[in-house]
Chains A and B, each alone.
Chain A
Amino acid sequence: MYTYNEFDHAFVRDRTEEFRDQVARRIAGELTEDEFKPLRLMNGLYLQLHAYMLRVAIPYGTLSAVQMRQLGYIARRWDRNWGHFTTRQNIQYNWTKLDDVPDILDALADVEMHAIQTSGNCIRNVTADQFAGVAADEIEDSRVWAEIMRQWSTLHPEFTFLPRKFKIAITGSENDRAAVKLHDIGLRMRRNDAGEVGFEVIVGGGQGRTPIVGETIREFLPKQHLLSYLEAILRTYNLLGRRDNLYKARIKILVAAVGIEKFAEMVEEEWLDIKDSALTLDAAKISEIERHFAPPTYEDIAEPVAPYDAARFTDPAFATWTRTNLFPHKQPGYTIVTVSLKPAGGVPGDATAEQMEALADLVEKYSLGELRIAHEQNVVLPYVRKQDLHKLWQALGEHGLADANIGLITDIISCPGLDYCNLANARAIPIAQRLSRHFADPALQSEIGPITLNISGCINACGHHHVGNIGILGVDKKGVEHYQITIGGIADENAAIGKILGPSFPAEGVVDAIDTLIGTFRKIRAEGETFIDTVSRVGINPFKETLYANH
């Protein structure tokens, strides 16, 4: 993991002290809300429906046991004993008090964390594949580059007041688990014909009210030019992006307006001027960061691992969990574990202080003290020895963390919706809760197979509804919550935007509607087909017809 140097420590402490002073001046009446609002947003502090919400960055989703324990401590001491993990690898505290926030930021700084650039029209927390560094299908560990981008983008003077917020995601695998085509800039690590590793650069993707799948502007960018090329993209956007219309200010609108070829030309032209500037990453700088992400010293463990196989044979519930929640590790004898934060009837992404502390204890014991947060709102343990899995699973079960549903229909992504968010038009969490209860039967989930079901409470799409195999969007219809349903969305390397099936449903009709779609799928699926396979083969009409048969 990356550990702060003296500069990092001093920088975060200075920022916290600066904000402490700003909060004191606000409470004393020396700053008006208009003056204070941009300052609090620069520190990740929002005013939501019921209280102040603090959004804390978890850079590229990686954190230590010590950091996770501190997140639990903050939840208990300054919030209502829980936190909410988001689709951008952040954690949000929903019930903070204004004058407590500087103390919370201090507590975060104690463990090398902060809330800087989790809001505002700047480059936000860079997100990455939650399996980076350990996935068997990986070309290279993308966290090295995410960290380099974090350092470059933090308080970058030229990009602190962009036309709109700016999101970058990176994956080091052919199989995209970071939804890179749905970000302002997406980076895929690739090998060229000479076997060198570099980046495919994708621009102009995003969700929100204008969902667009990003397009490639460079098939292969050598590593040393990463920052100069990003700078060229950001500079082009910063100069030409619209500032007169909030809804047309994202880079995807600029790219769509000028065309991808023209945009690529402008970036290349800008890049030529700065390609060999001080932004060039020399080998020493890269190695310095790589050193922080050096693989641990693994034990030599022969496969198969007998105790693991025996436990699977004798404990069917454990066997079920191993089928859904594990992912292949690059090191023999080890596996990657995804811990579900989606219990039946639960709130997707929520974890109590006790759960966060339990996870910290368990990773210290079983996963070299490191965790990841997935954009699907789950927690990942990246270094688990297979012989420890049964004990780990039992311990997770004691804390309500052993649900065997990763990648299945109850692994729902959901934004906070109208229950917490000032922007929402409808609730999202209660719909997720109802659906996860409805489909709770493990046998039914297994029979349905891999599927993504995403829910957003407004068009801003924090719940990624556009790219759910089934997407649910909350809308306000004459003051009443309604829900529009899409199918066919995909968030991986084959990214696609889902298609709207028809008129929206009132809240009480959503579970039946999704049940009808699943019933239709089970009736018409070909052998071995997933839900998205079937939609790709037959289109949306068979689903539309059954869904609206009685309307």
Chain B
Amino acid sequence: MKVTTKVMTANRLGDGAVVYLADDNNWVLALDDAEVADGDDAAAALEARAAASAARQEVVSTYLFAVSVSDTGIAPVSQREIIRAAGPTVGTDLPATTPLV
């Protein structure tokens, strides 16, 4: 498992939804569909593509965050990004809450 890899995220302009930058400059909702940057050069390339997208007013608040990649998929390292990816762990809008771990 590697923990130095990164994914580019943002909020979609129209509804604020959490999105991730994927191939062909698509912004996707599922973290597993995101493009993973391995190393500084790849991360810089993601940043350049995200900045261009933000300039086209497609997304706001772009930034890279650390993920780990394993056979089961892509997982954020920080609690904040876990919650952004999976949704709130609480709320009357949710049928069930995710575990507090």
Contact = CB atoms under 8 A, between A and B. Distances in A.
Interface of A: 26-27, 29, 32-33, 47-52, 80-82, 94-99, 346-347, 350, 352, 418-420, 426-427, 429-430, 433-434, 479-481, 507-508
Contacts of B91: 82, 94, 347, 350, 419, 429
A98 B79 contact: no
A419 B18 contact: no
Given A347-B92, A427-B89, A427-B100, 16 more contacts: A27-B14, A29-B57, A33-B60, A49-B88, A50-B17, A50-B18, A50-B84, A51-B15, A97-B16, A98-B15, A346-B92, A350-B92, A419-B83, A426-B79, A479-B78, A481-B79
Contact of B88 (A420, A426, A480, A507): A420
For the complex of A and B, the 10 pairs showing the least CB-CB separation, nearest first, are A80-B93, A51-B16, A419-B88, A29-B57, A97-B15, A52-B16, A429-B90, A82-B92, A430-B100, A33-B60
Secondary structure class of chain A's binding surface, majority of residues: mixed
A380 B88 CA distance: 28
Interface string B58-78: 001100000000000000011
Contacts of A97: 14-16
Contacts of A95: 93
B78 A81 contact: no
Contact of A479 (B14, B77, B90, B93): B77
Contacts of A350: 91-92
A82 B15 CA distance: 17
Tier of interface size on chain B: 20 to 34
A295 B93 CA distance: 39
A346 B88 CA distance: 14
Contacts, number: 92
A81 B93 contact: yes
A50 B101 CA distance: 20
A419 B100 CA distance: 11
Contacts of A420: 88
14 contacts: A33-B60, A47-B61, A49-B83, A50-B17, A81-B92, A82-B91, A97-B14, A99-B14, A352-B92, A419-B88, A420-B88, A427-B100, A430-B100, A479-B79
Contacts of B42: none
A96 B17 CA distance: 10
Interface in B4-62: 11, 13-18, 54, 56-57, 60-61
